Amino acid sequence: MFNTILVVIAASVLLFMFHPRLTNSRHWHATLTPLSSIIGSGFLIIAPLLTSVVGLYSPLAITAIVLLAYAIGGVIRFNIIHAEPLLHDREANPGIYKIDLLANATLSFAYVTAIAFYLSLLSSFLLTYLGFGDSPTLERTLTTTIIVFIAATGFFRGLGGLEKLEAYSMSLQLSIVAALLIGIFVYDYNFIQTEQALALDVPDRELTTKIFILFGVLLVVQGFETSRFLGEKYNAEIRVRTMRRAQLISGVLYVVSVIALLPVVQHMDLENIQIAEIVSVTGLVATALPLMLIVAAIMSQFSAAVADTVGAGCLSSESSGGKLPTNRGYVIVSVFAIILVWAADLLEIISFASRAFAVYYLLQCVVAIIASRHHYEGNTHLMQAVRFSTLTSILAVIVIFAIPAK
């Protein structure tokens, strides 16, 4: 009976997600790209990952991480309003233009690597459940096929076509997440009624190692910066508002899920976290959930890859001064991703990509400091400079010391 209820809840949420008021909303479409990137790649892994590092303090850790990510998102939002106009006049503002160009080049590498990594995970996960998990060639072939599909959609149907892919995958994922959380709440209530204590077998690590891993967890909740590159379709006000909305929605989901999953996570091997184990352990809540989460895991990697393709393609067009059409940018990014799939060890280079995201945010803080000097004077400029400089220092520490969690 409980399985049926959860399936009905997921189906009801899915129907709501396809309501015309949402599907026809420009603001919702502009929200989906950053939202897909933020929660697509890290939602399933975040609770056991943090629990394996700080145990019962994981709710405090995720709250701090979400707040820091929101503050960094504030820098991107500031730059959308104040730095973008300066970037349009390269000759008058060569310094800020060069820093932003360097930031974009860094982010391009991170995006290409992330796309290849997410879709390789998707292929590996899917093939494992289909019984073909020991074939690297088949995995790379499937990954390439998916990348080609995304690139073709972007080339022939543009940003709107990719946004539809995001809408389908995210709607399915969010409907399953809703059912998961309700199922977990019921499980937690029953657990509390038994008056049992949580028995978390947290791996023994040095304090500095724990801190460095927490620095890396910030990079799991990145993705909000994709709004910065949607200027082809959305004005600055819409991008700022929808990025803020995406961060708030994802932040609530992350904090709630980390808290709610503690009684379930205690049944996992926290020294060797695997997505497959995360999926299977939800069977303690309801037998229908593992199958539902297999779909959610596949959709999460797909939606994150599509969102990063959108960001990378639009970034390429912006960096070329509009000389490269966005739809061709999607193809170029996809070609590089395919090369990485066949030529590189993605597990090795994803750590560099994770740091590249942090470097991008750091450089955007520098851009914000320069832009604030053009728009503010006196105490207001000083306050903004202190704000951005503080975040720059934090990000510099993350770049140097973080152990990437992705």
Provide mean pLDDT across the span 145-149: 96
| CB-based contact 282:180 (threshold 8 Å) | yes
| CB-based contact 270:56 (threshold 8 Å) | no
Q: Looking at the predicted structure, is the pLDDT value of residue 107 above 90?
A: yes
What pLDDT does 41 receive? Answer: 62
Q: 267-275: which pairs have CB atoms within 8 A and are 24 or more residues apart?
A: 268/48, 270/48, 270/51, 270/52, 270/200, 270/201, 270/202, 270/203, 271/52, 271/203, 273/45, 273/48, 273/49, 273/52, 275/44, 275/45, 275/121, 275/125
Q: What is the pLDDT of residues 356-386, one digit of tens each?
A: 999 999 999 999 999 988 777 667 768 888 9
Q: What is the maximal distance between C-alpha atoms in the chain?
A: 69
> Is residue 320 a part of any domain in this protein?
yes
Lowest mean pLDDT segment, chosen from 79-93, 155-169, 180-194, 227-241: 79-93
Mean pLDDT of the chain: 89
Lowest mean pLDDT segment, chosen from 91-95, 174-178, 294-298, 393-397: 91-95
CA pair distance 153, 307, nearest whole angstrom: 13
Provide mean pLDDT across the span 28-39: 91
Joined tokens for residue 274: 């695997």
> Is residue 406 a part of any domain in this protein?
no
Joined tokens for residue 365: 């803080």
Range of the domain at 373: 2-401
What pLDDT does 404 receive? Answer: 66
- Count of CA atoms in the C-beta half-sphere (13 A) of 392: 14
> Is residue 191 a part of any domain in this protein?
yes
Q: H-type helices in 194-205, by residue range? A: none
CATH number at residue 216: 1.20.1740.10
Joined tokens for residue 19: 């309501």
Q: What is the pLDDT of residues 264-287, one digit of tens each?
A: 988 888 887 777 788 888 888 888
Q: What percent of the chain has pLDDT over 90?
A: 50
What pLDDT does 383 receive? Answer: 87
What pLDDT does 253 receive? Answer: 93
Provide mean pLDDT across the span 99-117: 92
| CB-based contact 193:20 (threshold 8 Å) | no
Q: Looking at the predicted structure, is the pLDDT value of residue 18 above 80?
A: yes
| CB-based contact 153:15 (threshold 8 Å) | no
| CB-based contact 106:360 (threshold 8 Å) | yes
| CB-based contact 346:113 (threshold 8 Å) | yes
CA pair distance 138, 99, nearest whole angstrom: 41
Of 405 and 74, more confident? 74
Q: Given the structure tokens 């009684």, which residue do they identify? A: 263
What pLDDT does 27 receive? Answer: 93
Amino acid present at 158: G
Provide mean pLDDT across the span 290-300: 88
Sign of CA dihedral 7, 13, 19, 23: negative
Q: What is the pLDDT of residues 35-88, one digit of tens each?
A: 998 987 677 788 898 998 998 999 999 999 999 999 999 999 999 999 998 887
- Count of CA atoms in the C-beta half-sphere (13 A) of 277: 15
Total structural domains within the chain: 1
What pLDDT does 103 receive? Answer: 93
> Is residue 307 a part of any domain in this protein?
yes
Joined tokens for residue 114: 């992330």
In terms of average pLDDT, the best of 187-191, 292-296, 360-364 is 360-364
CA pair distance 97, 356, nearest whole angstrom: 19
CA pair distance 16, 18, nearest whole angstrom: 5
What pLDDT does 28 receive? Answer: 93
What pLDDT does 405 receive? Answer: 59
CA pair distance 362, 379, nearest whole angstrom: 23
Provide mean pLDDT across the span 128-151: 89
Q: What is the pLDDT of residues 236-259, one digit of tens each?
A: 999 999 999 999 999 999 999 999
- Count of CA atoms in the C-beta half-sphere (13 A) of 394: 19
Provide mean pLDDT across the span 293-320: 89
Q: What percent of the chain has pLDDT over 70?
A: 97
> Is residue 99 a part of any domain in this protein?
yes
CA pair distance 86, 96, nearest whole angstrom: 8
